[in-house]
Structure 1
Amino acid sequence: MTAPLDGKVAVLTGSTRNLGLATAHRLAELGADVVINYHSADRAAEAAEAEKAIATHGRRVLAVQADVTQAEGAAALFDRAVEAFGRVDILVNNAGLVVKKPIAETTEEDFDRAFAVNAKAPFLTVREAARRIEDGGRIVNVITSIVAFTIPYYGVYAGSKGAVEHLTKAVAKELGARGITANCVAPGPLNTSFYYPVETDESIAGAKSRSVGNRLGEIHDVVPLIAFLCLPEQEWITAQTIRVNGGMA
């Protein structure tokens, strides 16, 4: 049987570990050729390992170092994808940066870094997609369930992700006539290395208590939804934010 994403090309940012890497694996399993993106040269070995692992699904894989917080980097990522595979059909924006501080202690540098990674980079890659993604394409932006409720110290992080939610709705309306969908997936806290560095035992316990299962989310809770939104038949789900958080919001 033909895989549902056979002949499609997926570009994923922040995809050498954790949720991004797992999503890349799943899209390859579904038949897509995959372009994984990483920011800094110190991730090159990790990217090479990811590239080899994804290739075991029998699909073509390309790892591209590009700083997608810059217009040149976002354009270069799409250039490399098109040069290698001839097209782009799917964009998954997964790269992120957490700033967890009281507003009174948040610096301009904190703000600029958070908005560069969490808001500007998705804007730049979505802009490239709006120009170059194939008709019938799929855009999925990973944001956060914190956009749906307020907790202290995440103001800049949630604010930067909230900007992406509105960007996604707008581009969905702009590109809908071409059969292109754009949606946000908003996970709750996940049991990954992305989550723990800014947390304490107390805050982790609090996060767990907000879910019906008294646990953090796992990568396998989120990947199926992202993959589902990338399928060709999901043309009537667009301009939506779908939260995956065990009932926390």
Structure 2
Amino acid sequence: MTGGSGGIGGAVARRLAADGMAVVVHYAGSAAKAEAVVESVTAAGGTAVALPGDVAEPTQMTGLFDAVEERFGGVDVVVNTAGIMLLAPLAEMELEAFDRMHRVNVRGTFVVSQLAARRLRPGGALINFSTSVTRLQQPDYGGYAATKGAVEAMTLIMARELRGRDVTVNAVAPGPTATPLFVEGKGEELIARIAAAAPLERLGTPEDIAETVSFLARPAGHWINGQVLFSNGGIA
């Protein structure tokens, strides 16, 4: 799984390991965080390994897939949690910031999805990550939502392109989720207001999102295909 060292990524790694999967925790920056996720998985009796790479570079990602196949014999589930979010009104956003998001969120998803389409075994699943912001139309999120709209388009079309392969392709679209990245820079009043927006009146947790991914990754979710699942407590 890409972005496995992040808050949601780490929770997904632990949940899939609890399902009995051998998990590859991909990371781009923080080896220490990725290794901490691996240690938490192995401490619970699971199997995990951390591997680096730039999701937007086909050569590096091909090497990662090669390493996974050599170590574990094949690829059954690919989860794309890697992504970055930079916020500003469209009229004020620097093009460099938009290009950075596009490189990771769109090009990175394209590269990894393409490899997944070629490598996933029958019965497998590709799970990309969108965001509930694509439906909320919140100011300052235009550039970020645009990249995730592209992810949704690729996901839905690829599900139809893989007809006959017995491979599902879906996207998970989290709402506001209590990760360190979300909380950073926000006061308690703002966080409380965001939490109250959902009918369930709380923020999501990384574990909430991980449960959605787990469902899509297991045989129980294999009849779900070509969908965007909004895991957001009803906020959108």
Mapped contact 2:12–2:207 kept (Cα < 8 A): no
1:60-101, Cα deviation, whole Å (9 max, x unpaired): 322101011211222122111112111000000001211110
Judged with a 3 Å threshold, the aligned counterparts in structure 2 of structure 1 residues 198 and 153 are, in CA distance, closer, same or farther, namely farther
Count of residue correspondences: 236
1:145 aligns with 2:160: no
Mean CA deviation greater in 87-96 or 210-219? 210-219
Gaps of 5+ in 1: 1-11
Say which SS state the counterpart of residue 239 (structure 1) adopts: coil
Report the Cα offset of residue 203 of structure 1: 4.4
Give the aligned CA root-mean-square deviation in angstroms: 1.6
- TM-score, normalized by length of structure 2? 0.94
Mapped contact 2:133–2:145 kept (Cα < 8 A): yes
Alpha-carbon distance in 2 for matches of 1:59, 1:227: 15
Judged with a 3 Å threshold, the aligned counterparts in structure 2 of structure 1 residues 100 and 200 are, in CA distance, closer, same or farther, namely farther
Report the Cα offset of residue 222 of structure 1: 1.6
In structure 2, the partner of 1:239 is 226
Which of the residues 105, 109, 114 maps onto 1:127? 114
Say which SS state the counterpart of residue 88 (structure 2) adopts: coil
In structure 1, the partner of 2:183 is 196
Judged with a 3 Å threshold, the aligned counterparts in structure 2 of structure 1 residues 163 and 152 are, in CA distance, closer, same or farther, namely same
Judged with a 3 Å threshold, the aligned counterparts in structure 2 of structure 1 residues 44 and 174 are, in CA distance, closer, same or farther, namely same
Report the Cα offset of residue 201 of structure 1: 5.0
Which of the residues 23, 27, 33 maps onto 2:16? 27
Corresponding letter in the other structure for 1:216: L
Alpha-carbon distance in 2 for matches of 1:96, 1:181: 21
In structure 2, the partner of 1:6 is none
Mapped contact 1:119–1:161 kept (Cα < 8 A): yes
In structure 1, the partner of 2:210 is 223
Report the Cα offset of residue 111 of structure 1: 0.6
1:154 aligns with 2:135: no
Judged with a 3 Å threshold, the aligned counterparts in structure 2 of structure 1 residues 203 and 152 are, in CA distance, closer, same or farther, namely farther
1:87 aligns with 2:74: yes
Report the Cα offset of residue 199 of structure 1: 4.2
Judged with a 3 Å threshold, the aligned counterparts in structure 2 of structure 1 residues 200 and 114 are, in CA distance, closer, same or farther, namely farther
Mean CA deviation greater in 194-203 or 210-219? 194-203
In structure 1, the partner of 2:96 is 109
1:116-141, Cα deviation, whole Å (9 max, x unpaired): 11111111000001111111110111
Judged with a 3 Å threshold, the aligned counterparts in structure 2 of structure 1 residues 199 and 163 are, in CA distance, closer, same or farther, namely farther
Corresponding letter in the other structure for 1:224: E
In structure 2, the partner of 1:51 is 38
In structure 2, the partner of 1:8 is none
Q: Percent identity?
A: 38
1:132-163, Cα deviation, whole Å (9 max, x unpaired): 11111101112110112211000011110110
Mapped contact 2:13–2:37 kept (Cα < 8 A): no
Judged with a 3 Å threshold, the aligned counterparts in structure 2 of structure 1 residues 59 and 221 are, in CA distance, closer, same or farther, namely closer
Judged with a 3 Å threshold, the aligned counterparts in structure 2 of structure 1 residues 53 and 201 are, in CA distance, closer, same or farther, namely closer
